[in-house]
Amino acid sequence: MLKGGAVWALGTMSGTSLDGVDAAMVLTDGERILEFGETRYRAYSPAERAVLRAALGRWPGEAAVAGAAEVVEAAHAELLAAFRGAEIVGFHGQTLAHEPGGRGTHQAGSGERLARALGLPVAWDFRSADVAAGGQGAPLAPFYHFACARRAGADRPVAFLNLGGVGNLTWVDPRQTAPEAPGACLAFDTGPANAPIDDLMQARLGQSHDEGGRLAAEGEVAETVLARFLDHAFFARMPPKSLDRDAFADLLTAVAGLSDADAAATLTAAAAAAVARGAAHFPTPVRQLLVTGGGRHNPVLMAMLEARTGIEAVPVEQVGLDGDMLEAQAFAYLAVRVARGLPTSGPSTTGVPACLGGGRVSRPEALALQP
């Protein structure tokens, strides 16, 4: 059993950009953030990234999945072993496929194996119960965003924008009593963010991403391609809603005839335009987009966000948060909520019919009794 009160939780995130594993400590009781702790990052090697890419879109038992799980588990065990003082681990795993309403959701990596390796309880499989209950299973950081807004002293609605492989928005009213309270949170995926840009850079130039948006800055946006992109049925759906990393894989085909610079500019504009469509769903306007994830390092994308949304876009560091580690911290926070039976998602964040506590906890002492 997890002791009462605040505990040091260690969370991890390996996102759809496939760059590596983030890990962060948070002192939390599952409701408040009392203190931020140590953070670390472990990059995937090119060989590891190739193994993971080969498994994208695949489901348990299919080719390449077992190899991907081994990479994920080994990388996490190596990184997390360097931390001291954690009382529980929140292990997200690596999303390979996500199809709510269809085959479900698939994150590679076993929390049981990680619990054995670390000798610590591990909360994991955060999304499956939500999807099984009819939710989207994503995004899962919104309840943590609510705690962050309170930690930052917000006294009016704010919006968090995560720009990872896929973009997602959380509108938060910190004046509500809890993240699961009606009117406290609205969250949803906006559309593709860094993933198509990264895939373009890898395919054409052998680079992992558009550093500083330099290539996009040299190009012109193909407005006809952008208009066709915004005609996608996803943008007509009301939130909550979520996406698989490759749901817009045809975007690369759409820019195939463009120069490298024009293609990069067009994909960057697509990410910003998707956010603008999403911001139209906010229950009340916000003054700022608090931006987290790798996309906040791209000044071209940040400028396009402001131009297309009409809202100031600022890195979350401006309110005392860590944009590189926010999602890892979220899974530390969620691990404590899972262990204590608190909700991790709700109707306005994933579309699940009622507030639900997802995830499961693997405890090393219980695993030791298994044959």
Q: Are residues 100 and 201 in the same domain?
A: no
Q: Are residues 181 and 312 in the same domain?
A: yes
> Known binder of ligand: residue 246?
no
> Known binder of ligand: residue 111?
no
Q: Are residues 211 and 248 in the same domain?
A: yes
Q: What is the CATH number of the domain that holds 199?
A: 3.30.420.40
Structure tokens at 180: 């699961």
> Known binder of ligand: residue 102?
no
Q: Are residues 302 and 286 in the same domain?
A: yes
> Known binder of ligand: residue 20?
yes
CA dihedral 30, 32, 34, 39 (to 10 degrees): 60
Give residue 212's domain range: 153-319
Q: How confident is the model at residue 2 (pLDDT cuts 50, 70, 90)?
A: confident
> Known binder of ligand: residue 15?
yes
Single pTM value for the model: 0.92
Q: Is residue 144 part of a domain?
A: no
Q: Are residues 28 and 122 in the same domain?
A: yes
C-alpha span between 69 and 10 (Å, rounded): 20
3-state helix, strand, coil in the chain (%, to 5): 40, 20, 40
Total number of domains constituting the chain: 2
> Known binder of ligand: residue 22?
yes
Q: Mind listing the pLDDT tens digit for each residue in 115-145?
A: 999 999 999 999 999 999 999 998 899 999 9
> Known binder of ligand: residue 18?
yes
Q: Is residue 2 part of a domain?
A: no
Question: What is the end-to-end Cα distance of the chain in Å, rounded?
Answer: 22
Taking 90 as the threshold, does the pLDDT of residue 88 lie above it? yes
Q: Are residues 275 and 216 in the same domain?
A: yes
Q: Is residue 160 part of a domain?
A: yes
Q: Mind listing the pLDDT tens digit for each residue in 33-72?
A: 999 999 999 999 999 999 999 999 999 999 999 999 999 9
Q: Is residue 146 part of a domain?
A: no
Amino acid 371: pLDDT? 56
